[in-house]
Amino acid sequence: MGILSLRAALEMAQERHVDLVEVSPTARPPVCRLMDYGKYKYEQAKRDRESRKKQKVVSIKELKMRPGIDEHDFDVKVKSAHRFLAEGDKVKCTIVFRGREIVHASLAQATLKRLAEATSEVGMVERVPRVEGRAMIMILAPKKGA
């Protein structure tokens, strides 16, 4: 509509029963638009709700083990990790050390490496195993195609 005075623009908005909305206040002269602001806000909220519906919330599931974990117990943990990764969740694998077990960190590293290999078809290592306090932690993330 071109450059109008504020008074003329407001009169035009009142005649059409719409609102005068400032779109770009920093421009010279400021850019305004004639629109139904209530309807605009409603549609924007509706779009926001739709986009939130489509989002996938990734939670972190934790598997706790010990360095001397038995074979069957390990297999149960692998099945759980498989299920978590297939559902799209991340898996935090923790091996907790007690007493002098921390001296044998290589056993824990080997166990976590075995777990990563066992779940390699549905997940990948996001964070390599490293010692944090009295525990060794590794994080697995689901593969994009899985």
CATH superfamily of 60-142: Translation initiation factor 3 (IF-3), C-terminal domain (3.30.110.10)
The pLDDT, as a whole number, for residue 53 is 85
Separation in Å, CA 8 to CA 17, 27, 137: 14, 19, 67
Q: Residue 88's pLDDT is what? A: 87
Its sign, for the CA torsion 118, 120, 121, 122, is positive
Q: Give this prediction's pTM.
A: 0.62
Q: What is the mean pLDDT of each run of 10 residues along the chain (146 residues)?
A: 86 91 87 91 93 83 92 95 92 93 89 93 92 93 78
Domain ranges (residues) in the chain? 6-54, 60-142
Give φ, ψ of 18 to 5 degrees.
-130, 180
Domain 6-54 has what CATH class? alpha beta
